[in-house]
A and B are shown apart, each in its own frame.
Chain A
Amino acid sequence: MSKAPTTDRADRFNELSQRRAIPLTDLAGHADDIARICHRMAERFRAGGKLVVFGNGGPSTDAQHVAVEFVHPVIVGKRALPAVSLTSDVATLTGVAARAGFAETFAHQIRCLGEPSDIALGLSADGSCENVARGLAAAAELGMLTVALTGGDGGPIVADHVLVARSADPLVVKEIHVTAYHLLWELTHVFLEGAA
């Protein structure tokens, strides 16, 4: 009651803004890593590989977002690149989950659909999703390039490249991931086209 409503609002939105600006600034500190990942992703696409994306809950919608980003670019003139999200196939997902358990879902799909020249991109807000970890492990066994977008302290997930969104808020982690995968898409095209 001591503060005017406008001050409360300013404080509230200042906190909402800072909660995002800090991990975004941290992401900017990894710009070199992002460029290196994209260089390797471009190599895979040039070799005929496809991108396989997966995550649970909110990140499953990100997986679909990444797939559509690559398949149907929003920037006119950019070539379409093959990408699939594993949660779009609800029949297989629920079938494997019912038979072999949810932890096996992505690994099973990757063993069926993955090829050595492919790229696996796993998303996990805290880096501890068992089915994402197993999916990445199955991808690595096939010789796929493995990339993970995680959050919090990064969690136990293992991949060739791990980008960590440094926030304890899973919603903010998601927002950092959206920026990260938009950059992954954009820089992959930069390397494919051979011009910065």
Chain B
Amino acid sequence: MTESLYPFLCTGQSAVDLAEVAASTRAKIADAIALRQQVFDFDAELLEACAEAMASRFAAGGRLLAFGNGGSSTDAQDLASLFVSSSQLPAFGLTNDIAVITALSNDVGFDVVFSRQIATFGRAGDIAVGLSTSGSSTNLLPAFAQARRRGLLTVGLAGGDGGAMASSPDIDHLFVVPSSSVHRIQETQTTLYHVLWELTAAALESR
């Protein structure tokens, strides 16, 4: 019955032009392709350098700690799991334990949920990876500062103009996805950490 209404799909209140919706969908996917190309063009050398640094840390016994909020927390968990399940390397998502997150938030404040865990788990030689689409998440900046103090390698993924992360003195490798769309930023950050994993795994294999 949906088909009989083509190209207009009745929504109850008004009709939505399916062809128009499909065209805007195609435009968004074209943006997603172009944004990846733009980031690769700009960051290829930096990605290789970051992967080499991560491989050195892993080779020396370092672990990876990944963190972010909301959708970015799921990316952090995915990245950590990628290293553990595909590369048999030690990695932790700092949002994995909801008891720890809610305890720290309730007793101290949400801004310390990652920095306190880094202070607890982090060792010199580890790697801290923080993801934020805005670059200004208030719990990421103290986490990078804590990681830097403890001698962790710090890697940041941000979006837009990089936000506060762009001016942080505590991030060794920063990748900024230049888009105003949170969705396109997130999708490209997924590509960035996938590529970082792939290049890191390749760098470790070639050692």
Chain A interfacial positions (CB closer than 8 Å to B): 9-10, 12-13, 16-17, 20-21, 24-25, 27-28, 31-32, 34-36, 39-40, 42, 46, 57-58, 61-62, 64-65, 68-69, 72, 74-75, 171-172, 174-175, 178-179, 182-183, 186-187, 190-192, 194-196
Interface contact B13-A68, CB-CB below 8 Å: no
> Which of B16, B28, B194 interacts with A196 by CB under 8 Å?
B16
Contacts of A74 in B (CB 8 A): 70-71, 133, 182-183
**A191 closest partner in B (C-beta):** B11
**A185 closest partner in B (C-beta):** B183
> Which of A28, A58, A65, A179 interacts with B82 by CB under 8 Å?
A58
Interface contact B74-A25, CB-CB below 8 Å: no
B41 to A: closest C-beta gap in Å: 8
* 0/1 interface trace, chain B 75-96, chain A, CB 8 Å (1 if under): 1011001100100000000000
A45 to B: closest C-beta gap in Å: 12
| Complex CA distance for A178 and B35, rounded to whole angstroms | 15
> Which of A75, A182, A183 interacts with B186 by CB under 8 Å?
A182
Interface contact B9-A13, CB-CB below 8 Å: no
> Which of A31, A64, A182, A194 interacts with B74 by CB under 8 Å?
A64
> Which of B16, B74, B195 interacts with A16 by CB under 8 Å?
B195
Within 8 A of A (CB), among B1-49: 2, 9, 11-18, 20-26, 28-30, 32-33, 36-37, 40-41, 44-45, 48
Interface contact B29-A27, CB-CB below 8 Å: yes
Instruction: Give the secondary structure class of B's interface.
Output: helix
| Complex CA distance for A17 and B70, rounded to whole angstroms | 27
Contacts of A72 in B (CB 8 A): 70
| Complex CA distance for A34 and B74, rounded to whole angstroms | 23
| Complex CA distance for A13 and B116, rounded to whole angstroms | 37
Can you list 23 contacts pairing A with B, beta carbon distance less than 8 Å? A9-B45, A10-B44, A12-B44, A16-B195, A20-B191, A24-B32, A25-B33, A28-B25, A31-B22, A32-B18, A35-B22, A57-B81, A58-B82, A61-B74, A65-B75, A69-B71, A74-B183, A172-B194, A175-B190, A182-B183, A191-B9, A194-B14, A196-B17
Q: Determine if B172 is an interface residue (Cβ-Cβ < 8 Å).
A: no
Interface contact A46-B12, CB-CB below 8 Å: yes
Instruction: Give the secondary structure class of A's interface.
Output: helix
Cβ-Cβ contact count across A and B, 8 Å cutoff: 133
Q: Which of A10, A36, A46 has the most CB of B within 10 A?
A: A36
Contacts of B11 in A (CB 8 A): 39, 42, 191-192, 194
Contacts of A190 in B (CB 8 A): 16, 21
Interface contact A32-B22, CB-CB below 8 Å: yes
| Complex CA distance for A192 and B16, rounded to whole angstroms | 10
> Which of B16, B40, B197 interacts with A194 by CB under 8 Å?
B16
Q: Determine if B198 is an interface residue (Cβ-Cβ < 8 Å).
A: yes
B205 to A: closest C-beta gap in Å: 15
A186 to B: closest C-beta gap in Å: 7
| Complex CA distance for A46 and B198, rounded to whole angstroms | 42
| Complex CA distance for A62 and B44, rounded to whole angstroms | 26
Contacts of A183 in B (CB 8 A): 25, 28-29
